[in-house]
Amino acid sequence: MTKADLVEIVFEKVGLSKKEAQDIIEIIFDTIKQSFVEGESVKVPGFGTFNVRQKAARRGRNPQTGEELTIAPRRVLTFKASNQFKAMIEKQDQDKE
């Protein structure tokens, strides 16, 4: 599923024009992204939580050359699915068997 599929679903379910659906979906992801850039986590009940985490610098190795290097400190994103989301996944997985 891509952004184009989401546009199609919003177009069909909500009755916006395709252009409107496309614009609002773009704005939704941009707004979430902006929150991450500001270092703020995003919580969506029933879906999950995105956390921005600061990673310290660490020593690593280039796996190809074996050369030692320092990996710069960075911010990474983690996502934790909500219990409801996990339950939904588990149920579908069991129904399949």
Q: Which residues bind other proteins (CB under 8 A)?
A: 1-3, 5-6, 9-10, 13-14, 16, 20-21, 23-25, 27-29, 31-33, 35-37, 40-48, 50, 52, 72, 74-79, 81, 85-86, 88-93
| Pairing of β 42-44 and β 68-71 | unpaired
C-alpha 80/C-alpha 45 separation (Å) is 11
Return the SS3 of 35: helix
Least Å from the CB of residue 24 to other proteins:
5
C-alpha 29/C-alpha 9 separation (Å) is 16
Residue closer to other proteins (CB basis): 61 or 81 = 81
Least Å from the CB of residue 22 to other proteins:
11
